[in-house]
Amino acid sequence: MIEKTVLYGFLVALTMGLSALAFFVWAVLANQWDDTEDVKYRILEREWEEVRK
């Protein structure tokens, strides 16, 4: 019984780890990490435009 629990826990942890790795690889290949600073400046510009109107 304990052996099955350890095996299932290991398989769940391995699956979660591989999923996280696959997500990271996808993010890098899809250029999601290119320019994270640009987003906050675009949001700030939109807020300034709304205030000026």
2's tokens:
């304990």
Q: Would you say residue 8 has pLDDT above 90? A: yes
Please, where are the H alpha helices in 1-53? 2-29, 37-52
pLDDT for the residue 50: 75
pLDDT range class, residue 49, cuts 50, 70, 90:
confident
Return the domain boundaries, the chain. 2-52
Report the Cα 30 to chain-centroid distance in Å: 12
* Distance between start and end Cα atoms, the chain: 68
The pTM of this model reads: 0.60
